[in-house]
Each structure stands twice: as structure tokens, then as C-alpha cells.
Amino acid sequence: MKTDLVGMSGPKEEANKEKETCSIESLNSQGSLDSNRKDDRASLILTLTLYNVRKTELSKAAEVFEMFETQIHHFETRQAKKPKNSVDDLDIFVECEVHSADVGILIISLKRVAKDVKTSREDKVPWFPRKIQDLDKCHHLITKYDPSLDHDHPGYSDLEYNKRRAFFADLAFNYRAGDPLPHIEYTAQETATWRQVYRKLRSLYPTHACTQFLDAFQQLEKHCGYREDNIPQLQVVSRFLKERTGFQLRPAAGQLSARDFLGSLAFRVFQCTQYIRHFSSPMHSPEPDCCHELLGHVPMLADKEFAQFSQDIGLASLGSSEEEIEKLATLYWFTVEFGLCKQNGLIKAYGAGLLSSYGELMYALSNKPEHKPFDPEVTAVHPYQDQTFQPVYFIAENLEDAKVKLQNYTMKIKKPFALHYDPFTSSIEVLNTPQKIKRALHQIKEELRNFCLALENLS
């Protein structure tokens, strides 16, 4: 049936077809099509021109897409840049998916009903979330330290602990964006473990933590039930963060893959575990737990500067190569997890891995490890240690300086597209047409107008 669309042709037209087919094969070999799909579908960006458009011409083009079961993500028409006959000449832009085997014949068929059919380069790009609901798919776990698999995990032989962990995992896997965050009735033993960690760490915070952390921690104690005898609920903490910086929490079953975890940060969503470390090892956990998340991460996510820093790493990760993901994950490790900064002539901790580990927090601020200035180019490729204390820590001049350096670094990451986060819809837009860029600029223009009015009112 598909050959019917092409129709009968003479020797000259057959030669043209063969030439077109060769050009398509060349295009495929150059990697312009993304066939990295489970169902072997290719992503295409097409531009074409219809001259002296009437309903029949437009419908013919539409029939071609329909014939090949094309999934159209974006279809846009505009007046032709180089009209030949009339104002009815149209340029058409299409983002679509089609079965890989049909790519060549699709383009040949389009050339028979339209002019100037071109395919823009679209590299093979890993899937990434485009709206906050897509985070329901971002739950791939790293099982390296899973208590049911890791023989060295403190809870490996504790059947009750593993059963409890399975309960938390089910809650996380069944959670969907927009659902209320699960309310947990923690056991007396779990609360006792929390108490030991909370009491020990809280004694160090005044002398070892940065001022941003201390300010937020005070507010968390006041408004979110942070205290020795109570493990805070995610719903309460998430509401607090949302009001302060726009960040929100969602439950995680364990340690996520770097791509899934960082991708969530792009939407100002922090994937947060709800289980607690094994009671036999209260001062150390080989994997993230609620002590690490609630005591280490949450206070810093309540700071606007740091929240932007975290989202910037997340945005940079979207669609990045595995090599770049590894570098961004390393940057995250040495900053968000184990970062130090200067404040009032002293070195303070802002990394969650330090602020949730009594032993390493003292060690990091001693004269035992090596301290280096934070430079993203150096930090991104520095080897890190996930079994013992870090031999090297990177010190930022301040959080603003760290944010600017990170933004400069991420601008150098090579991608075939630019992205824009829309905070109104909590979605990511790929800026691959002039119209999309204009819409994004219009939003910025409106914000600038408001700021100008505010300045006028102050003068």
C-alpha cells in the first residue's frame, strides 16, 4: 500500500528516486536520525514548503504522515520566507516520530507533494523528562548498597529490616506526581535511631555548618517538627520548601541512577527516601536514608541561591551524554554532597554528606584532608571515594561564586538543542524553533518590565 503513494514513474524519475534513496541512506549514516528507541522509531525534524497552498495541498501532506503512522509532536506553519507565487506559500516545521524502516520512503513521498524538504540534524539523545509527571518514570535504582543484596550492609541479615524496607519501596514505586506524600508511622526503634543521629549532629552544627544551613534548620525546628523525638513527615517538609524556594519532595525507594536523580532536580523536585538506616550503625549509612535527606539536604534546599545551584545541575543533565552525566554527578558529589565554603574567614560545610555524618563533618574541617579551591573543570573529573572519608574537599569562595562557576561550566556542554524551564507549567521546552524562543523571550520581557516598574516606584 505504501508504494501506491509514490505512483508509477519512468526511467528518469526512477533515477531521481535512487538518488533520493542514496541521500537518505547517507543521512542515516551521519546520525541525523534517532533510532535509539525500544520500538525502533526514529525522531525527525522536518522542514518543507508548500506553494500556492489550497486545502488539497495541505491535505496531501497530511495524508503522507498518516500513511506512515507518524506520531507528530509539533506541527507549525508560517508564511514562506521566500514566496514564489503568492502569500499562500507556506513553510512547515514538523517534529515527529516514525518507524525507522519508513524514514526513507516518508521523505521521498513528502518530496512528491512539497518542495524544499529538509531534515535537520537530531543527534541520538537519551530520553529525558519534559513535564513533572514524567518523573514517575525516573525511579531506576542503584542496588550496590541494597540491604537485601549487599553482604556488608548492616541490615543484610535482618529479615524484619528488609521487610520494612520493602514496605517503603512499595510506597515510592506506587507514588504518582500530585499524590499526597505518604505519611509514615515510624517505630520506636526507628525514632531511637533518629534521636541518636539528631542529637550528635546538632551539637556540631553551630561551629561547622554554613549560615544558610543554620538559618533554615532553625526554621525547620520551628515549623516542621524537627526534634529529637520526632522524624519529620515529607508532606510537611515539602510544603515548607515549596514556600521558600519552590522545591518539593517525592518519595524514593533507594539510591537512584545519576540520570534520574539529577533530572528530577531540573523540576525543583528532590527524590527523598523515607526509610532510616539500620539501628546497629546509627552514625553511618552506606546509602541515603531519611537522616541524610532531612538533616543534610533539606536545610540547604531552603536557601534560594543553593536551590538554583541544584536546579542548574539538573537542567544541565537533561539529554546529556553518559560522559557528561558522570561529570555532573561528580560535581554534585563534591558540592551538594561534600562541599565546603568560606564564611567570615572560616571554612564551613554546606554538603549534605558532611552535614549528616558526625565523623566526616569533623574530619573535613580538620587539617587532615587536602583542601582545593572549587573549579568545575577540575572537580568534574576528580576521583571520589564512596567507601571512606574523602581525601580531598573543594572549597567555594561563597555559594554565589559556586553557582556562577557552575553555570559557566554547564554552558560548555555540547547538545543539539537548548532547553527552557517553564515554572508556570513545571515543564521543559526544547527551544528548536524561532517561535518557541520568541515565547520564552516574551516571558523574560514581561518580568523585566515589572522590575523596571518596581525600580521607578522606589526612586
Q: Which active-site residues does the annotation give?
A: 292, 297, 337, 356
Q: What is the DSSP letter of 34?
A: B
**Helices 399-410 and 304-317, packing angle to 10 deg:** 20
Strands 427-430 and 115-120: unpaired
Query: Measuring CA to CA, which residue among 308, 297, 282, 141 is closest to residue 232?
Result: 297
Q: Which residues contact 66 (CB under 8 A, 6 or more apart)?
A: none
441: cell is 523571550
What are the two backbone dihedrals, phi and then psi, of residue 28, each rounded to the nearest 5 degrees?
A: -65, -40
Q: Would you put residue 345 in left (φ > 0), alpha (ψ -120 to 50) or beta?
A: left
Say which amino acid occupies 356: S
The answer to whether 231 and 290 are in contact (CB under 8 A) is yes
Lookup result for grid cell 514556600: 243
453: cell is 516598574
Runs of H (alpha helix) within 211-335: 211-223, 234-244, 258-265, 290-291, 298-301, 304-317, 322-332
Query: Measuring CA to CA, which residue among 137, 138, 45 is closest to residue 92?
Result: 45
Q: Which residues contact 275 (CB under 8 A, 6 or more apart)?
A: 164, 165, 168, 289, 290
Q: How far is CA 188 from CA 160, 165, 278, 319, in A?
A: 14, 16, 13, 44
CA angle 156, 158, 159 (to 5 degrees): 110
Alpha carbons within 13 A on the beta-carbon side of 136: 9
The answer to whether 440 and 420 are in contact (CB under 8 A) is yes
